[in-house]
Structure formats: structure tokens, C-alpha cells
Amino acid sequence: MVTDNDKGLVLAVASSVFVGSSFILKKKGLKRAAADGTPAGFGGYTYLLEPLWWVGLLTMAFGEIANFVAYVYAPAVLVTPLGDLSIIISAVLAHFLLNEKLRKMGVWGCVCCIVGSVMIVTHAPQEHTPNSVDEIWKLAMQPAFLIYVATSMSIVLALILYCEPLCGQINILVYTGICSSMGSFTVMSIKAVGIAIKLTLGINQIWYRETWFFLSWLLLYALDTFNAAIVSPIYYVMFTTLTIVASAIMFKDWYGQNTESIASEICGFITVLTGTVILHATREEEETSSGTLRWQESGKSFNEEHLVSLYSTEY
């Protein structure tokens, strides 16, 4: 029998495949466009006329949709870390399709991510789907989650009002801290809206004011002024950690699990993070030695304007 976790797992992996492949498709599209006109890294827009670039864009859109639906069926502790597989897929495809050598440390990074993902999948808790939006709202109003929200918002305000004017331009932790904290709330809203849509197929949840609250929060964050391309493994580590913590508190992902399973999931998570840091460190080392433009990535986001820097270096 296919469980909700199985559906979420398939969707999360499919999302990584689509997103990882989209990087390669768009890279090839950018290269083709650069051969016919001004490169995107120097202000050119000929890539907009390249069909392959649009195929890559659509592929990424499919990946993001699959990721959205995955949160409906599986807990964040399973879905969020699996997003890192897109980096592995893009690295492997770049090795074979773009002749970008996957170096030894890059291979070790991939292995760490795969081993960690297997550990997480093996010990992931079963999804406990609420029966109504009203029930989701009650989960959001429980004291433990409200304390988490109050603490996180206090830290965000301190970072915005005090730290940002002083060292926001020189300390990456300021912006990554803000985006990671707010991003964890957004994932909770994504999950809530997704569950509301799923439940609406049976009993209409659309007119609940709670549904519109979660949707409004999701749209508000999507339209904020923070740069979506803030990069570094630091962002991935902070965002993933805070998302898992927020989901564990609000949706009680680990409720009913034994200590051994939780410890295995945490070990798997740390292993995935280690692999991510190794992959990023290898890429940054190559960029420094080859003198290419700086490439920035945040989980699944990247800067379209930097043609040479998008997976242009060897891993």
C-alpha cells in the first residue's frame, strides 16, 4: 500500500531531478545565446530567445510545484533535506553533458548527501495530516509554536533594526538569519495551504479565514525585498534546520517516534549538510582558482545574469 510518505518522497525526489536538470538546460541555453550575441553576464538578453533556456525554466517550475505538493504528503523533516539532491543531479549532469569534471572532493560530497538522504528516508516519521484547516490553526496557536514564533520574530527584528545598519553589508549571517527565519514560517504556510487544497477536494476549506491567513503570509514573503539569490551553505544549513524545527513543533513530526529513529534522522541530516558544505567549498575553490565570476546559489535559486558563473567551474 502506498502511504502519504511514499508519495511525498517520490515528489521530493522528482522535484530535485527537475530542478537539478533545469540548471543544466538553462546553462546550455545561456551558452548558445552567448555564442549568438552578448552574454547574459555582460547585460545581454539574447537568452530570452533561446528555446532551451525556456525549457529549463519550465522544468524548474515543474520542480517547484512538485516540491510544493510534497509538503502536503510528507513531513518537512523528510522533504526539506531531499532538496539538496538537486545539487548532486546538476553536478553529475554537468560532468557528463557539459564536460565539467566532478572532482574527488565533489564525489565525496555527493556520497555524503546520498548516505544522509537514505538515513532520513529510512527513519522518517509518518505524516499526520490534519482533518481541517481549523485543526491546522489550532496547531499554529499551540503555546510551544507561539513561543517559537515570538522568539524568531524577536531575533528577526533585532537583525533588521540593529544588526543590519551596523554590519548587514559585511556579515552574511544578518541576511541569511532573516531569510532563514522568515523562510521557515513560509514553509509552514505552504504546507498549510497545500493541506487546505487537498482537504478542499473532499470538504471545501477555501472560505475559512485561516486558509486566507496562511495564503497571505505565503504571498507576503514571496513579494518581500530580500534577495532570493543570497548564497552559501550557511543559508541552506540555517533554513533547513529552522524549517525542521518549526515543523517538528507545529505539526509534531517526531511525535510517537523512538529516540533511535530521531537520532538517526539527525545524523542523516548532519551528513547531508556536510555533503552540501563540501560541494559548495569545492565549487568556491574552483571559482577562485579559475577567476570566474562569483556564482551564488540559495538551495534551488540562482542568478540568471551570471552566465559564466552558473555551473561553469569544475567540481
pLDDT at residue 202, as a whole number: 55
pLDDT at 302: 37
If one counts every other C-beta atom within 10 angstroms of the C-beta of residue 99, the result is: 8
Torsion of CA 47, 176, 170, 156, to 10 degrees: 130
Residue 312 falls in which region: left (phi positive, over 0), alpha (psi -120 to 50) or beta: alpha
- Whole-model pTM? 0.74
Q: What is the pLDDT of residue 73?
A: 87
In the numeric block, the cell 557539459 is attached to: 98
pLDDT score recorded for residue 170: 78
**Residue indicated by cell numbers 496547531:** 139
**CA distances to 180, 238, 260 from 123, in Å:** 25, 22, 9
DSSP-assigned beta bridge partners for residue 297: 302
Instruction: State the DSSP code for 162.
Output: I
| Digitized pLDDT (tens) for each residue of the chain, 315 residues in all | 788 889 999 999 999 999 889 988 988 888 888 887 766 556 667 778 889 989 998 998 899 889 888 988 888 889 988 887 888 888 888 888 888 777 888 889 889 989 999 999 899 888 777 887 788 889 889 999 999 999 999 998 999 899 988 887 777 788 778 878 887 888 888 888 788 777 776 545 555 565 556 556 555 554 443 333 334 567 777 888 888 898 889 888 888 888 899 999 999 999 998 888 888 777 655 555 554 433 333 333 334 333 333 333 333
Predicted pLDDT at 309:
37
At residue 115, φ and ψ (nearest 5 deg) are: -60, -45
* 91 closest CA partner among 81, 78, 101: 101
Write out the three cell numbers for 124: 522518517
* Structure confidence at residue 294 (pLDDT): 38
The pLDDT value given to residue 62 = 93
User: What are residue 121's DSSP bridge partners?
Assistant: none
